[in-house]
């Protein structure tokens, strides 16, 4: 069982957003439905006046999410995590030694727990309950 004595506290105002492709000031010429971008500080074209917002292509038009303080978003093109301060997006330093250690501990704990669950599930024989129509494992 993982040691949960070391925990990461996430402030209640934190909100994790789905990843975006990149930070850009101009919309791409041929977006795909569901494409998400972080509008830069000088939005133009369809993104004019939408600085620092998240733009989502719905297949026919851009929809914009206005960020709040504490929002986090992963920028795929930069392979980096950004946080909104309430006025601007800043890179969140997850690659610092302290944060890297925390992330490694989380990965180790989750990996150990998942392996334990996987091993436990595969050492038991699955049974089928015809009345309920479910597969289950006897403990």
Same domain, 64 and 128: no
Same domain, 85 and 128: no
Quote the number of domains for the chain: 2
Same domain, 85 and 107: no
Distance of CA 60 to the CA centre of its chain: 25
66 contacts 48 by C-beta, under 8 angstroms:
no
Write out the residue range of the structural domain in which residue 119 sits. Answer: 97-137
Same domain, 23 and 85: yes
The answer to whether residue 108 is domain-embedded is yes
Q: Tell me the per-residue pLDDT of 48-96, one tens digit each, with 9 for 90 and over.
A: 999 999 999 999 999 999 999 988 888 999 988 899 999 999 998 765 5
pLDDT at 40: 97
Whether pLDDT at 8 is above 50:
no
Which residue reads 């990996």 in tokens?
A: 111
State both tokens at 93.
């330093």
């Amino acid at each position: 069982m993982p040691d949960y004595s070391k925990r990461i506290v996430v402030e209640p105002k934190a909100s994790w957003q789905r990843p975006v492709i990149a930070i850009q000031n101009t919309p791409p010429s041929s977006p795909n439905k569901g494409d998400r971008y972080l509008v830069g500080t000088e939005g133009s074209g369809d993104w004019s006046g939408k600085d620092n917002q998240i733009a989502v292509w719905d297949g026919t038009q851009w929809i914009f999410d206005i960020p709040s303080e504490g929002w986090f978003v992963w920028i795929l093109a930069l392979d980096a995590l950004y946080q909104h301060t309430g006025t601007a997006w800043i890179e969140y330093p997850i690659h610092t030694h302290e944060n890297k250690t925390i992330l490694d501990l989380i990965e180790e704990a989750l990996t150990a727990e998942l392996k334990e669950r996987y091993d436990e599930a595969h050492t038991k024989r699955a049974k089928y309950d015809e009345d309920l129509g479910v597969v289950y494992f006897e403990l």
